[in-house]
């Protein structure tokens, strides 16, 4: 049992509350009670992003993050990544999709066969006068502990700093 603003709650409930808070902060629509195996690819990526952020990571390296997700999930992730960048997180994007690079990055480095071919600042986008610095979508991280019957809320287990008080 743990203490939160509303009294003693189980760890499972604390995981659910924290997942919901973090998901809402980034505009993700994750139901903590949904079984992980029922989440879409994009929702699993959102869950992984939330789990990493709960650990306090400052740098995200994303490889081809828009592969396998819907356009709505892509928009939600781009918005979350822009928010993360504005909050001071560093996001490295590996992509061959120039549209994604232009939408998110403030600096581009082109590699070919492991060697830098060029490096440049992105031009600002006319629509929003900001180009971002981030991206996510296809966080290719293992979700090995997320077997059958595990819920998105319980997947937060091990991703919260229990030594620190959370309100």
Pairwise CA distance, residues 76 & 42, whole Å? 10
Alpha helices in 55-113 (DSSP H): 71-86, 98-104
Q: How much is the mean pLDDT over the chain?
A: 77
Q: Rounded distance, CA 52 to CA 57, Å?
A: 6
Q: Give the list of residues 6+ apart from residue 164 with CB closer than 8 angstroms, or none.
A: none
Taking the domains of the chain in order of start, what are their residue ranges?
Answer: 2-139+149-156
List, for residues 109-166, the tens digit of each pLDDT value. Answer: 888 888 888 888 876 544 443 343 333 332 233 344 555 666 666 666 665 554 444 4
pTM of the model: 0.67
Pick the CATH number of 2-139+149-156 from 3.40.50.970, 3.40.1410.10, 1.10.3720.10, 3.40.50.300: 3.40.50.300
């Amino acid at each position: 049992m743990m203490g939160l603003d509303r009294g003693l709650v189980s760890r499972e409930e604390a995981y659910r509350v924290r997942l919901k808070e973090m998901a809402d902060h980034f505009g993700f629509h994750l139901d903590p009670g949904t079984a992980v195996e029922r989440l879409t690819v994009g929702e699993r990526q959102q869950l992984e992003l939330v789990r990493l952020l709960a650990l306090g990571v400052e740098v995200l390296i994303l490889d081809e993050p828009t592969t396998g997700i819907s356009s709505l999930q892509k928009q939600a992730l781009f918005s979350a990544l822009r928010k993360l960048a504005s909050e001071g997180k560093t996001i490295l994007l590996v992509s061959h999709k120039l549209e994604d690079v232009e939408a998110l990055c403030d600096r581009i480095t082109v590699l070919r066969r492991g060697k830098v071919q060029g490096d440049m600042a992105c031009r600002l986008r006319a629509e929003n006068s900001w180009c971002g610095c981030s991206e996510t979508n296809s966080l290719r991280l293992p979700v090995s502990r997320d077997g059958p019957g595990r819920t998105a809320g319980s997947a937060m287990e091990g991703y919260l700093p229990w030594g620190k008080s959370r309100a």
